[in-house]
């Protein structure tokens, strides 16, 4: 059984550097003086989230790339800024045949539409199942009917937007603390209230977890089917995360808020922007790691959530390469 997630977080200011054949993090105080140092075992890390002000040199970056470690960078306000991921030639044995088939599936209007609809169907059903657990009535059939009738990606995105708007409004019947965490409207850049800040942070974590799992397969993360790859360097992880955000991310938000593990005191306003305290980030990350290493039963297998996500990526690959039917992951628990 997997005991821990192979993810490390740097929240404090400091320097990440190569130290012989390992990594080391030197923590800084407010004046930039080193106040402590700890080793980071290179063979026990798959990805590093950098949320603090961290110095890193090209020598260390090359060492990180050689060991296929992903870096995820965040601003001081905990908004996502970008990824560093090694050249795929150094990591998974990427197949030219699979890449060609992925490109052909994207370029085939019918095939792309099929995959986009199936991914969005998973999103709708998993979101609706969340509401059913809280005994909230929600007309999923109407959204699924419009989805199946969609003739282009824009129509799918329109149906997804309508679904998501009403789905978020239903959160006010789930979240107990309506004084501090009442949902009004979705805001992202930047989030305008505490609940939107929490949604954005958790969603970003989901995107990066999915990206990490895609990176371990033969699919190319640059080529998505629901989200246009033209306007961003990576898009496939945004597609697949739509399936798992309701299952993992949204349920985590409900739990954190309704158990008062995250309260209004865990937020602060800095230069007019809302951010978490460092203690809040640690609490959230502890919960995410616990969730991602939890095992569920799928058929005769016991899989962690990371393995379930990777399995989903490979199911899409199987559809692309072997033209098998693809059914999205649906959570019933």
Please indicate, yes or no, whether residues 117 and 263 belong to a single structural domain of this protein: yes
Q: Assign 87 a pLDDT band (cuts: 50, 70, 90).
A: low
23, 57, 90 - which closes a domain:
90
Please indicate, yes or no, whether residues 65 and 190 belong to a single structural domain of this protein: no
Containing 62, the helix (H) or strand (E) segment is helix 58-66
Nearest to 76 by CA among 42, 94, 50, 46: 50
Please check the confidence at residue 189 and state whether its pLDDT lies above 90. Answer: no
The residues pairing with 268 across neighbouring beta strands, listed in sequence order, are 275
pLDDT computed for residue 2 by the predictor: 35
Nearest to 248 by CA among 297, 306, 194: 306
Q: Assign 33 a pLDDT band (cuts: 50, 70, 90).
A: confident
pLDDT tens for 160-178 read: 999 999 999 999 999 999 9
User: 86 by DSSP, 3-state: which?
Assistant: coil
User: 122 by DSSP, 3-state: which?
Assistant: helix
Number of other CB atoms surrounding residue 328 within 10 Å: 22
| Rounded alpha-carbon distances, angstroms, from residue 164 to 64, 90, 126, 141, 186 | 38, 39, 12, 14, 9
DSSP class per residue in 188-206: -SS--SHHHHHHHHHHHHH
How confident is the model over 190-218, as a mean pLDDT?
A: 90
| Rounded alpha-carbon distances, angstroms, from residue 44 to 6, 35, 39 | 6, 24, 11
Please indicate, yes or no, whether residues 116 and 217 belong to a single structural domain of this protein: yes
Please indicate, yes or no, whether residues 214 and 301 belong to a single structural domain of this protein: yes
Q: What are phi and psi of 301, to 5 degrees?
A: -105, 150
Write out the two tokens for 143: 């959204």
On whether residue 331 sits in a domain, the answer given is no
Please indicate, yes or no, whether residues 189 and 317 belong to a single structural domain of this protein: yes
Please indicate, yes or no, whether residues 130 and 266 belong to a single structural domain of this protein: yes
User: 239 by DSSP, 3-state: which?
Assistant: helix
Contact 138, 170 (CB under 8 A): yes
> Of 2-6, 92-96, 103-107, 203-207, which range is least confident?
2-6
62, 90, 118 - which closes a domain:
90
Give the pTM.
0.82
pLDDT computed for residue 90 by the predictor: 43
On whether residue 249 sits in a domain, the answer given is yes
On whether residue 33 sits in a domain, the answer given is yes
The mean predicted confidence, pLDDT, of the chain is: 88
Please indicate, yes or no, whether residues 186 and 79 belong to a single structural domain of this protein: no
pLDDT tens for 242-258 read: 999 999 999 999 999 99
Number of other CB atoms surrounding residue 149 within 10 Å: 10
Please indicate, yes or no, whether residues 23 and 118 belong to a single structural domain of this protein: no
Please indicate, yes or no, whether residues 156 and 207 belong to a single structural domain of this protein: yes
In this structure, the strands spanning 267-270 and 301-304 are unpaired
26, 59, 90 - which closes a domain:
90
pLDDT tens for 55-70 read: 999 888 888 888 888 8
How confident is the model over 92-103, as a mean pLDDT?
A: 81
CA distance 163 to 141: 11
pLDDT computed for residue 232 by the predictor: 60
Please indicate, yes or no, whether residues 132 and 80 belong to a single structural domain of this protein: no
CA distance 281 to 2: 23
Domain of 195 in residue numbering reads as: 96-322
Please check the confidence at residue 85 and state whether its pLDDT lies above 80. Answer: no
Please indicate, yes or no, whether residues 180 and 315 belong to a single structural domain of this protein: yes
Q: Assign 89 a pLDDT band (cuts: 50, 70, 90).
A: very low
On whether residue 2 sits in a domain, the answer given is no
CATH number of the CATH domain containing 64: 3.100.10.20
CATH number of the CATH domain containing 194: 1.20.120.920
Write out the two tokens for 92: 């998974």
User: 63 by DSSP, 3-state: which?
Assistant: helix
Determine the length of the chain: 333
On whether residue 68 sits in a domain, the answer given is yes
| Rounded alpha-carbon distances, angstroms, from residue 218 to 48, 62, 107 | 22, 23, 19
On whether residue 166 sits in a domain, the answer given is yes
Please indicate, yes or no, whether residues 146 and 58 belong to a single structural domain of this protein: no
How many folded domains does the chain comprise? 2
Write out the two tokens for 200: 């954005």
Number of other CB atoms surrounding residue 246 within 10 Å: 22
CA distance 278 to 124: 33
User: 319 by DSSP, 3-state: which?
Assistant: helix
On whether residue 330 sits in a domain, the answer given is no
> Of 12-26, 239-253, 256-270, 271-285, which range is least confident?
271-285
Compute the Cα dihedral for 161, 166, 170, 171 and give only its sign: positive
On whether residue 314 sits in a domain, the answer given is yes
């Amino acid at each position: 059984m997997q005991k821990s997630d192979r993810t490390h977080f740097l929240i404090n200011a400091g320097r990440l550097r190569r130290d012989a054949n390992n990594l080391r993090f030197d923590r800084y105080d407010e004046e930039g003086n080193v106040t402590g140092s700890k080793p980071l075992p290179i063979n026990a890390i798959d990805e590093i989230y950098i949320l603090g002000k961290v110095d890193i040199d090209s020598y260390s970056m090359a060492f990180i790339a050689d060991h296929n470690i992903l870096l995820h960078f965040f601003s001081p306000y905990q908004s996502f800024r970008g990824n560093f991921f090694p050249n795929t030639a150094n990591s998974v044995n990427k197949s030219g045949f699979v890449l060609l088939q992925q490109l052909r599936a994207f370029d085939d209007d019918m095939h792309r539409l099929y995959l986009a609809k199936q991914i969005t169907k998973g999103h709708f059903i998993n979101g609706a199942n969340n509401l059913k657990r809280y005994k909230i009535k929600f007309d999923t059939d109407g959204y699924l009917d419009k989805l199946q009738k969609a003739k282009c990606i824009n129509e799918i995105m329109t149906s997804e937007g309508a679904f998501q708007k009403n789905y978020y409004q239903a959160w006010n019947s789930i979240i107990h603390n309506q004084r501090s965490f009442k949902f009004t409207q979705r805001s992202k850049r930047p989030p305008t209230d505490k609940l939107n800040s929490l949604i954005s942070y958790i969603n970003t974590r989901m995107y990066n977890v999915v990206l990490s799992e895609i990176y371990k397969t033969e699919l190319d993360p640059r080529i998505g089917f629901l989200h246009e790859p033209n306007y961003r360097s990576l898009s496939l992880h945004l597609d697949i995360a739509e399936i798992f955000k309701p299952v993992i991310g949204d349920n985590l938000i409900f739990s954190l808020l309704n158990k008062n593990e995250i309260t209004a005191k865990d937020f602060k306003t800095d230069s007019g922007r809302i951010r978490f305290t460092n203690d809040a980030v640690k609490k959230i990350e502890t919960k995410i790691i616990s969730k991602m290493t939890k095992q569920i039963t799928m058929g005769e297998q016991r899989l962690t959530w990371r393995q379930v996500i990777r399995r989903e990526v490979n199911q899409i690959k199987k559809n692309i390469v072997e033209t098998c039917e693809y059914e999205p992951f649906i959570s019933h628990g």
